[in-house]
Each structure stands twice: as C-alpha cells, then as structure tokens.
C-alpha cells in the first residue's frame, strides 16, 4: 500500500505555501504581476520594480533618473503632458490611462496606468506612484471594436453622401447643375484640393475619332492643368484611365511620359490626380477629375509625408465609382430632358415659321423675318443666301445679340465667299447636301474663311457649330440656309440639323413659288405692254381716253382689252372685251383675239358681222377661251354709230348730263356655240358733245353688291361726271368705283365727239 | 443666441475695475489648469477664465465642426468674449495652442489687447525642413491613436452627469479624469487642428508687449521653438524656466506667476 491519498495539501507543500504567503514585501514589490514605479513630480524615476524592467527590457540602473515620459511613444508623451500631468496635479490620481511604453528594442507595449500623487503638508507634490498593467490583448480588442465602429460610421457617411448626391441630382435640370453637385460633393468626400467634371462630346467609344473633352465645371483646378490633362496622350489619356477609378501620380514616369502635365501638376502643388469614370449604361460620358495634394482644404498640414503615396481604400474607390455612375445617369436624364425641351422648341419654331411664310408678301421680307425668328429661338446666327439670275444674293443675316449684329452685317457684304473653298454654305450649294460642322476648330475656321477681315469677323463671332442646308426644287438651286451656334450654346444636334432641313424645304417652296410668280408677273407685264395699244390715235372730231387697271390679286395682267382703230374713210373701229380668266393665258388669248379682229376690221365689217365671223371662225382661229366683247364702228363726221355685243355689258351714253345704257342686244359670248341668225346691231347717232363709255365688268362688279347695284352706281357717277374731257371721266370712274381690292381687271374706253 | 459667457463657461474674479487678464487653456483639459496661477492676479486684476467650446463645461451644442476646423474659430470666440465683457487692454495668457489662438485673436482685433503671455507656444508642431517643431507626421498619427485608446473610457452615460450638474461641481469632481474628458470626435478634431496647423506667418506684425515662457525639457514645445517665436516677435521677452514639462502653471506655479508678474511690471 502506498501512502494515504488526500485533497488536503501535504505537509511539505503547505510549508512552501506558507512561506510564500509570508508576504516578503520586497519580493511582492519586485515580482508583482504589474509594473510598479515611483517618480519625482517632474517624471524622473526614483524606484522601479523588476517586472517593469523586464517588460521594458531595461536594467533598473538605466531606468533610475530617466524621465518616465521618455519611455513613452511620441503620441504617448503628448498625451502624458496634456492629460496625465494636469489630471494628477488637479485630482491627485489618475485611473485607467491607456499609455504605450517603448521597449528597448523599439517595440511597443500597451499598458493601462493608475497613478497617485503624494503631497507634502503644504500640498506640494513630492512623489508619484504608478502601477502599470499590460493590456496588449485588451487594447487589440478595443482597437478592433473601434475600427469596426469607424468602418460602420464611414459606411454610414458614404451612404449619406450617396443619398445626398442622389437627392441633389434629382433636382438638376442641366448639365451645369449636375456638374455643380458632383464636383462639390466629391470634393467634400475626398477633401480634394480641386475637382472638375469633363465631358466627352461626340462618340467616346469611336476608335477613329479623337474625343473632344469639354470641362463643364471646375473648382480649384487651374485652366492650364485642365488643358494639359485634356491634351495628354492625344486627348485619350483621361478616357483610357476612366475605365475605372485611377490615379495619375506625379512621379518620375509621369515626368518622362507627360512632361507638360507633370509640370502643370507640380506648379499647382498637386501630387495626385484621381480620375473617376462618369458613365451611364456602359456609355462613357466623361470623367470626374480630382486633385489630391499635400495639405487639406482647411489649410491643415497633411498627415502624409510629402511625396509619399496614399493608397486609396477600396471603400473610397467604390464610393467614387458610385458617384460617377450617379452623375452619368443624371447627365443622361438631363440630356433627354433638354432634348425634349429642344424638340418642343423646334416644333414651335417650325410652326411659327410656316405661319410666317404663309403670311409673307415677298421673298425678301420672308427671309428677313425668318432669320429674325431663327435667332430668337434656335441659333445665334442665321444667314440666308439666295441664287438669283444676277448671281448670289444675301438678303438676310441676323445675330441673336443686337450688340453683335454689326459683325454679321459685315459678313453680309461678302455674300458666299467663293474663294473660301471650305465654306459650309458654299459646299452645301455645290454638293446639294447639308453641311454640319458640329464643333469647330482653328483649321476648319481657316478653311471656311478668307484671310483678313472676313476671318477676323467670323472668329469674333466665337462660333462653335454650324449647319448649312441647300435649298433646291426639282434640281434647281435656290440658295442656302445657314445657322451658327456660339460658345454659350450647345452644339447643333442631329435633330437640329433635321429641323434646319425641314425649314429649308419649306422655304424652298416659298422661294420657288415667289420666283415663279415674279417671273410670270414680269412676263405678263411684258405681254400686256406689247398687247395693249400704247395710246389711242389722235382722231379728228374725237377725244378719247383709255384705262387699264389690273386686279389687285394675281398677276398684273388679264384678258381685258380695249382698242381704238382708225379705219379707211375716216371711220373708227372701237372694241372692249374680256377673255375669261385672269392670267397669262387670258392675256395671250386677248392678244390673239385682237390680231384676229383687227384683221377682220380691215374689211370695214359692221360690228354684228364681225362678231358673226369671229364666232364662225373661233375654232379655226385657235382661240382656246371664251370672251365677251363689244364692237363698234363710228363715223366721227356724222356721228353714226353701230354697236354689237357678244355677251358683253352695254355701253353708256351720256348726253347733256344724262347717262343711259344703250340697249345693245347681246348675242352669245365669243367661243360659245353661235346663236341662230345674225347678230343684232344697235344703230344710232353720237351727238356732238356726247360721250360714249365702253367698259368691262371689273368696273361694276364687287364682292359687296350685285351687278345691278353696280350698274346703277355707274350711271349715277357718269351722269354726274360727264364732260367734254373723257380723261377726267375715266379718272372719276376709277376713283369712285374701283375699290382698293379689285377681283377683276378693268378696261375703260371713253370717247367724246367734239 | 445664447450668451458667449454661457457658451464658453466664462468665470470672472478679482477686481472688476482692474486690468483684465484672460487665461486660455490649451489642448487637453480646461480652465482648471489655471487654478494655481490665476488667483495670484485677483488682487489687482480682473481675472477671466473660460473653456474653449468642446472642452470642459462649455456648451457642447455650440461645437460646429466647420467653425472649429481651424484655430481661427477659437480666436473669434476670444474676441467675442472680450467684446461681451467689454474688456480692453487685455493681458491674454495663452497656454500651448492657445498661445497661437491668442495671436490670431490679436490680429483679428488688435485694439482689444494690451499684452500677450505665451506659455509653451509652438506655431508648427510638424518639422518642416530646417524648422524643428519637435514632431514627425508619424508622431502626430501616434498621438491621434493615443487619443483613441483613451476615449474608450468615455461613456455617453457619464456625459449628462458632467454637463447636467454645473451647479454642483463636486459631483463632477468625483468623476475621475473629468477635467480632461472631451467628446471623442471633438477631441480628435481639436488635436488635428492643434497639431497640424502652421501659424508661423501669424507671428509677424505683433505690436504689443509679448512674453514667451519656455519650459525646460518640454516634449511639446522644444527650446528651439521658443527661441524661434521670440525671434519672430521683435521686442518679445523670452523667459527660460527651470520648470520641466509642458504645464508650468501646474508643475511650477510660483515660477510661472513670478515670470508673469515681472513681465507685467515692466
């Protein structure tokens, strides 16, 4: 059997325990499971235990007379001076101060410190006693807690930022609004020295074309820096980088590859540019550029060593990426909105333009007013060139700003500069195709202008975008319609171009119609001039007066005619007539008819026979329209007068102030199927002093009253005005009977026997 | 707006008609820092103590992160205190960062101040080329870290007790470390603003009697900085103190009082 087993400590063990519990104060002090030290009020260590020495890796001899604060890390020293020393002095003790000791090998020992200040009778400090507990695990745990808390706070702050940005972007209605929000917010988030939103015009993804980078808003970045960034790597650098959130560091590589950009960054004290893609649905719209550098925006010194690279944490990268996407989506929405507004403006404009063109009196006025309308709505400059038979003509050139009108006035004098081969207007006219310069550059400007004043004037207009649309109808070139947008306006879009083309089409029709009308009018005048006898011949015993007044609508010529012909034996042939219609054809047929009846008159036919012959030969003569006519044969010597009418109104005879219609019985109109039997003639005498008036229905017909009322009125005026001067009578008649708006031509023939 | 006196917890004592002495505490604690020095001047001065907004028993609701993102926010508060109390010919005694805040306040309203006492000033803590401020960037990062470690003891449950019983300071006294207790986010920002400011240029153009009190073996404001400040302010008096550390008003109140007295008697 072995010795008895018992839970009670055996005699030997109990003895050892008893020894330990005997409280050897020295051992307890030296080997206590905590650091223990005493210092003078200024921190000099006067007593220290072995545990503390072991922890710090130093010998007691080295520690004595060393200041406690010199054993701390730099941060700990500051905390010691600013917190611990005042607290000890003020409240005599401190508890649970977290403090880091620096071991002799440089490593850090996190501790918790409690201390009391021992004072003399007068309250003056004499000694400080401090105990230190190692707190490595505890501190690590606390740090992790703190880090988790910070992370949660940061994540919350990021969500708040994104929320704010989304909220602000929702209120944005223009590119500029979006830019303001995104530049300001991202700058805040990154505490960036500066930020800018740079957008791409045209297709960013087109590998053929160089993208045009346009800064929309910039804060705290120099113009020079932006210019260099845009120019870097053939203007593709920013876009290449914008595949993701990237950094451009001011380092040796950048200095070698992009010396100008590097210089601009150095100049501005910026050592890192962060480029964030701004995109919507994988469409790259531009980039957000941020400048990071030494020094925070508040003017505080940066904690980062100058030149040392700060690595952007993934959470920041994510946030920036999100901001870029939000900005991209807002831009798309705003652009859509702007496009809709512009579409609305375009339709309003086209409507107004159509109304204007419908109401315009002539081409010059139309283009003038159209140009005015265009600069009030769609463009800054509108210039209209027309092709005329005398060459190019520039009837309209307008600027939106009256203050710059003098510039386009100057351009007006140049018309289309034929020597400037690249002029879009000229190209449009030559090639018969729309010319659209979305964004100008210097080269383009040079190609389209003449050196000297012309180029300088165009340059002063600060144009950025031009559209020239040719006007043509059935292959006939009519002119060019040109619009210009200056720098404050968006460049013309495809929809703008389409609108310009529609407008050009409308205007082409107006110009074409007007030009045709003008041509017809001119032709008919010529015709009329050649068809109407210049002036009635001087006839013995007769005074004659003739008038021809065109209708106020349509061409200036019609089928009305009058004629006074001297025949053999002193006889005089008279006629007044009206070919149906009011156009060139009517005038032409009138001319034919006159030739025909004049050839017949040679035979001194009486009016009735004349009418019968004309009726009979109407088809043979090739007269294609019907006509009314009144023919007369007068013997001025005896006053014998014969009259016959083919569907024409009767003439008026005025004797001694009394006017009456002569009862000439009309037969059918010329060209109508002839009536049975010969045409009746009225035969009578024109007394000396009497006046005979032959007229066409334009004189008595009006829209307001029926023809009987007109005839009554005619008799009344003739009776009142009749004298020995037929000219005066004609003037009076026209003055009183021919209104301002005449639907038909008027021909008058008045003759007084003297 | 609440009165500036309430906001900054202004305490006045001494002779109301005497020359005003305004004591400004530095980063870390509050106006109690001055309790061993200020009473000395009560016999013949109007002594004014206050807490910077965010420190001690100031009105925490007045703390505006934007306003106090630079020292000028604190400087404008000092000017406001002087204006509200109608102080003129003020002797502004500023400790540590408040020595520089005092300089900024002077530039803001020079007509208010008659003398500057700068206790342990440091216009730039971070070394910069030939200039030795005493700290590297890493050191400052370590300090911010040390602040974090100690703020874990801060409990929001305690705050109402501290702030809610201003009439019973003994209650607050019972709370350990209460003088130097600051809301963690405020302490962080104050530390940043204090240790990351560069106010060297503001030392130019000081046109009133100025005393620079330089402690020995001061880890926060080395001797060379005291000399730098003294050189930059023509006519200033530099007193090299026997006191060690950064808080002579607590560690060596007699020497501190004597130095200020001597300066004011000039």
More confidently predicted of A580 and A244: A580
**Can you give the pLDDT at residue A632?**
94
Site of tokens 């989304």: A166
Q: What is the mean pLDDT of residues A580-598?
A: 83
Site of tokens 């708040």: A160
**What is the DSSP code (8-state) at residue A479?**
E
Q: Is the dihedral of CA A579, A583, A589, A595 positive or negative?
A: positive
Task: Report the CATH number at residue B8.
Answer: 3.40.50.1820
Q: What is the mean pLDDT of residues B110-123?
A: 97
Domain for residue B168, yes or no?
Answer: no
- Residue of B54, B59, B48 whose CA lies nearest to B29: B54
Nearest CA in chain B to A141: B149
Residues 204-243 of B with CB under 8 A from A: 217-220
**Can you give the pLDDT at residue B173?**
45
Q: Which of B138, B192, B219 sits opposite A81 (nearest CB)?
A: B219
Top-ranked range on mean pLDDT: pick from A423-427, A526-530, A531-535, B43-47: B43-47
Phi, psi dihedral angles at A298 (to 5 degrees) = -75, -5
Q: What is the mean pLDDT of residues A367-388?
A: 88
Domain for residue B28, yes or no?
Answer: yes
In this prediction, residue A629 has a pLDDT band, given cuts at 50, 70 and 90, of very high
Q: Is the dihedral of CA A580, A581, A582, A585 positive or negative?
A: negative
Q: Which of B69, B149, B219 sits opposite A98 (nearest CB)?
A: B149
- Residue of B150, B190, B149 whose CA lies nearest to B56: B190
Structural contact between residues A97 and A83, judged by C-beta atoms closer than 8 angstroms: yes
Q: Which of A131-135, A311-315, A715-719, B247-251 has the lowest mean pLDDT?
A: A311-315
Q: Which of the residues A45, A301, A307 would you substitute to probe the B interface, choosing the one with the greatest number of B C-beta atoms within 10 Å?
A: A301
Q: Which of A304-308, A522-526, A630-634, B237-241 has the lowest mean pLDDT?
A: A304-308
Q: Which of A42, A74, A85 sits opposite B142 (nearest CB)?
A: A74
**Can you give the pLDDT at residue B174?**
44
Q: What is the mean pLDDT of residues A248-258?
A: 83
In this prediction, residue A623 has a pLDDT band, given cuts at 50, 70 and 90, of confident
Q: What is the pLDDT of residues A361-371, one digit of tens each?
A: 778 888 888 89
Domain for residue B179, yes or no?
Answer: no
**Can you give the pLDDT at residue A202?**
62
**What is the DSSP code (8-state) at residue A561?**
E
Chain A touched by B140 (CB under 8 Å): yes
Chain B residues in contact with A145 by the CB 8 A cut-off are 152
**Can you give the pLDDT at residue A271?**
80
Q: What is the pLDDT of residues B139-167, one digit of tens each?
A: 888 888 888 777 644 543 343 333 334 44
Chain A touched by B138 (CB under 8 Å): yes
Which ranges in chain A are annotated with CATH 3.30.450.40?
157-293+314-336, 360-522
Q: Is the pLDDT of residue A179 over 90?
A: yes
Nearest CA in chain B to A42: B244
ipTM: 0.88
Q: Confirm whether B5 is a catalytic residue.
A: no
Residues 35-54 of A with CB under 8 A from B: 41-43
CB contact under 8 A, B143 and A74: yes
More confidently predicted of A261 and A703: A261
Q: Is the pLDDT of residue B16 over 80?
A: yes
Q: What is the pLDDT of residues A52-80, one digit of tens each?
A: 999 999 999 999 999 999 999 888 888 89
**Can you give the pLDDT at residue A553?**
64
According to DSSP, the β-strands at B90-95 and B113-119 are parallel
Chain B touched by A73 (CB under 8 Å): yes
Which ranges in chain A are annotated with CATH 3.30.450.20?
12-139
SS3 B185: helix
Structural contact between residues A483 and A381, judged by C-beta atoms closer than 8 angstroms: yes
Domain for residue B110, yes or no?
Answer: yes
**Can you give the pLDDT at residue A132?**
95
What does R_g of chain A's alpha carbons equal in angstroms?
54
Structural contact between residues A96 and B175, judged by C-beta atoms closer than 8 angstroms: no
Measure in Å the smallest separation between the Cα of A157 and chain B Cα atoms: 14
Domain for residue B59, yes or no?
Answer: yes
Q: What is the pLDDT of residues B50-98, one digit of tens each?
A: 999 999 889 999 999 889 999 999 999 999 999 999 999 999 999 999 9
The per-residue DSSP string of B79-146 comes to HHHHHHHT--SEEEEEETHHHHHHHHHHHH-GGGEEEEEEES--SB-B-BTTB--SB-HHHHHHHHHH
CB contact under 8 A, A76 and B176: no
Return mean pLDDT, chain A: 85
Angle at A751 between CA A747 and CA A753, to 5 degrees: 175
Q: Confirm whether B218 is a catalytic residue.
A: yes
Query: In terms of C-beta density within 10 A (0-12 exposed, 13-18 middle, 19 or more buried), how is residue A56 classed?
Result: buried
Residues 80-109 of A with CB under 8 A from B: 81-83, 85-87, 89-91, 93-100
Q: What is the pLDDT of residues A488-537, one digit of tens each?
A: 787 888 888 888 898 898 888 888 888 887 777 777 677 766 766 667 88
**Can you give the pLDDT at residue A351?**
87
Please tell us whether the domain made up of A12-139 is placed in CATH 3.40.710.10.
no
In this prediction, residue A293 has a pLDDT band, given cuts at 50, 70 and 90, of low
Residue A387 bridge partners (DSSP): A392
The CATH number of A532-753 is 3.60.40.10
**Can you give the pLDDT at residue B161?**
39
Domain for residue B80, yes or no?
Answer: yes
Pairwise CA distance, residues A711 & A722, whole Å: 16
- Residue of A559, A563, A557, A626 whose CA lies nearest to A586: A559
Residues 324-343 of A with CB under 8 A from B: none
Chain A touched by B149 (CB under 8 Å): yes
Chain A residues in contact with B39 by the CB 8 A cut-off are none
Which ranges in chain A are annotated with CATH 3.60.40.10?
532-753
Q: What is the pLDDT of residues A83-114, one digit of tens each?
A: 888 888 888 888 888 888 999 998 999 999 99
Q: Confirm whether B45 is a catalytic residue.
A: no
**Can you give the pLDDT at residue B168?**
43
For residue A390, what are the contacts with CB-CB under 8 A and spacing of at least 6?
none
Chain A residues in contact with B138 by the CB 8 A cut-off are 74
- Looking at domain A360-522, what is its CATH homologous superfamily? GAF domain (3.30.450.40)
**Can you give the pLDDT at residue A48?**
95
The percent of residues in chain A predicted with pLDDT above 90, rounded, is 29
Q: Is the pLDDT of residue A210 over 80?
A: no
**Can you give the pLDDT at residue A75?**
85
Q: Which of A302-306, A592-596, B206-210 has the lowest mean pLDDT?
A: A302-306
Q: Is the pLDDT of residue A638 over 50?
A: yes
Count how many domains chain B has: 1
Task: Tell me, yes or no, if the pTM score tops 0.80.
Answer: no
Count Cβ–Cβ pairs < 8 Å, chain A vs chain B: 146
More confidently predicted of B92 and A6: B92
**Can you give the pLDDT at residue A209?**
58
Chain B residues in contact with A85 by the CB 8 A cut-off are 245-247, 250-251
CA atoms within 13 A on the CB side of A626: 11
Q: What is the pLDDT of residues A679-727, one digit of tens each?
A: 999 999 999 999 999 999 888 887 677 888 888 989 999 988 888 889 9
CATH architecture of A157-293+314-336: 2-Layer Sandwich (3.30)
What does R_g of chain B's alpha carbons equal in angstroms?
17
Domain for residue B12, yes or no?
Answer: yes
Pairwise CA distance, residues B177 & B260, whole Å: 29
């Amino acid at each position: 059997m072995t010795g008895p087993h018992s839970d009670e400590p055996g005699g030997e063990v109990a003895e050892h325990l008893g020894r330990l519990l005997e409280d050897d104060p020295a051992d307890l002090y030296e080997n206590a499971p905590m650091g223990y030290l005493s210092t003078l009020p200024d921190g000099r260590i006067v007593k220290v235990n072995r545990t503390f020495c072991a922890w710090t890796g130093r010998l007691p001899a080295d520690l004595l007379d060393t200041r406690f604060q010199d054993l701390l890390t730099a941060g700990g020293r500051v905390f010691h001076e600013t917190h611990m020393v005042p607290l000890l002095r003020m409240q005599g003790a401190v508890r649970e101060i977290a403090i880091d000791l620096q071991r002799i090998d440089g490593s850090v020992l996190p501790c918790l410190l409690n201390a009391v200040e021992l004072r003399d009778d007068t309250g003056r400090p004499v000694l400080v006693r401090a105990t230190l507990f190692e707190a490595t695990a505890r501190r690590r745990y606390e740090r992790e807690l703190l880090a988790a808390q910070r992370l949660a706070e940061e994540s919350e702050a990021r969500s708040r930022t994104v929320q704010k940005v989304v909220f602000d972007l929702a209120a944005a209605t223009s590119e500029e609004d979006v830019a303001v929000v995104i530049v300001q917010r991202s700058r805040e988030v990154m505490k960036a020295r500066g930020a800018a939103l740079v957008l791409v015009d045209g297709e960013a993804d087109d590998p053929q074309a160089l993208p045009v980078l346009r800064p929309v808003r910039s804060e705290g970045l120099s113009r020079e820096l932006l210019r260099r960034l845009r120019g870097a790597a053939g203007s593709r650098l920013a876009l290449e980088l914008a595949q993701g959130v990237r950094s451009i560091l001011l380092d040796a590589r950048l200095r070698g590859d992009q010396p100008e950009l590097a210089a601009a960054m150095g100049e501005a004290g910026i050592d890192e540019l962060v480029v964030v893609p701004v995109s919507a649905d994988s469409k790259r719209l531009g980039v957000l550029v941020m400048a990071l550098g030494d020094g925070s925006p508040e003017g505080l010194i940066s904690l980062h060593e100058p030149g040392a690279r700060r690595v952007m944490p993934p959470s920041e990268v994510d946030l920036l990426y999100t901001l870029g996407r939000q900005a991209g989506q807002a831009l798309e929405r705003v652009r859509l909105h702007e496009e809709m507004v512009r579409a609305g403006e375009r339709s309003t404009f086209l409507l107004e333009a159509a109304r204007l063109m419908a109401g315009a009196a002539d081409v010059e006025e139309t283009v003038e007013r159209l140009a005015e309308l265009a600069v009030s709505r769609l463009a800054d400059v509108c210039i209209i060139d027309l092709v005329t038979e005398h060459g190019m003509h520039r009837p309209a050139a307008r600027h939106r700003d009256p203050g710059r009108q003098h510039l386009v006035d100057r351009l007006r004098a140049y018309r289309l500069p034929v020597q400037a081969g690249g002029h879009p207007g000229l190209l449009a006219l030559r090639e018969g195709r729309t010319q659209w310069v979305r964004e100008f550059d210097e080269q383009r400007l040079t190609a389209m202008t003449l050196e000297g004043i012309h180029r300088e004037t165009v340059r002063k207009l600060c144009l950025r975008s031009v559209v020239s649309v040719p006007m043509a109808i059935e292959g006939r070139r009519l002119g060019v319609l040109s619009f210009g947008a200056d720098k404050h306006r968006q460049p013309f879009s495809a929809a703008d171009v389409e609108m310009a083309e529609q407008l050009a089409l409308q205007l082409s029709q107006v110009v074409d119609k007007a030009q045709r009308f003008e041509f017809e009018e001119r032709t008919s005048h010529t015709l009329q001039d050649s068809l109407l006898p210049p002036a009635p011949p001087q006839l013995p015993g007769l005074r004659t007066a003739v008038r021809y007044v065109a209708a106020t609508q349509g061409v200036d010529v019609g089928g009305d005619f009058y004629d006074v012909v001297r025949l053999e034996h002193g006889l005089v042939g008279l006629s007044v007539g009206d070919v149906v219609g009011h156009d060139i054809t009517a005038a032409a047929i009138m001319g034919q008819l006159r030739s025909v009846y004049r050839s017949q008159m040679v035979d001194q036919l009486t009016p009735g026979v004349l009418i019968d012959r004309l009726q009979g030969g109407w088809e043979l003569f090739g007269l294609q329209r019907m006509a009314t006519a009144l023919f007369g044969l007068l013997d001025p010597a005896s006053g014998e007068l014969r009259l016959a009418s083919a569907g024409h109104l009767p003439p008026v005879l005025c004797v001694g102030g009394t006017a009456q219609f002569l009862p000439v019985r009309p037969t059918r109109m010329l060209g109508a199927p002839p009536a049975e039997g010969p045409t009746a003639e009225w035969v009578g005498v024109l007394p000396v002093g009497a006046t005979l008036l032959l007229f066409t229905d334009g004189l008595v017909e009006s829209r307001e009253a029926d023809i009987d009322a007109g005839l009554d009125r005619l008799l009344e005026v003739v009776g009142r005005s009749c004298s020995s001067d037929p000219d005066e009578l004609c003037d009076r008649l026209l003055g009183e009977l021919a209104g301002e708006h005449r639907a038909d031509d008027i021909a008058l023939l008045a003759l007084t026997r003297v | 707006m609440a009165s500036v006196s309430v906001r900054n917890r202004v305490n006045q004592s001494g002779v109301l008609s005497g020359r005003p002495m305004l004591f400004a505490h530095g980063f870390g604690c509050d106006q109690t820092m001055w309790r061993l020095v200020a009473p000395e001047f009560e016999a013949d001065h109007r002594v004014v103590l206050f807490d910077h907004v965010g420190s001690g028993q100031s009105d925490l609701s007045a703390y505006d992160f934007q306003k106090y993102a630079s020292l000028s926010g604190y400087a404008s508060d000092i000017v406001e205190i002087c204006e509200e109390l109608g102080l003129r010919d003020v002797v502004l005694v500023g400790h540590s960062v408040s020595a520089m805040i005092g300089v900024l306040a002077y530039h803001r309203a020079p007509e208010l101040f008659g003398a500057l006492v700068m206790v342990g000033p440091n216009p730039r803590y971070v070394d910069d080329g030939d200039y030795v401020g005493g700290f590297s960037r890493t050191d400052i990062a370590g300090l911010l870290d040390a602040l974090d470690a100690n703020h874990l003891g801060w409990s929001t449950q305690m705050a109402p007790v501290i702030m809610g019983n201003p009439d019973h300071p003994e209650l607050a006294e019972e709370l350990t470390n209460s003088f130097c207790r600051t809301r963690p986010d405020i302490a962080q920002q104050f530390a940043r603003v204090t240790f990351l400011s560069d106010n060297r240029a503001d030392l130019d153009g000081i046109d009133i009697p100025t005393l620079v009190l330089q402690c020995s073996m001061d880890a926060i404001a080395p001797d060379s900085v005291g000399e730098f400040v003294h050189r930059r302010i023509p006519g200033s008096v530099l007193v090299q103190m026997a006191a060690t550390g950064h808080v002579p008003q607590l560690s060596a109140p007699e020497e501190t009082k004597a130095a200020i007295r001597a300066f004011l008697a000039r």
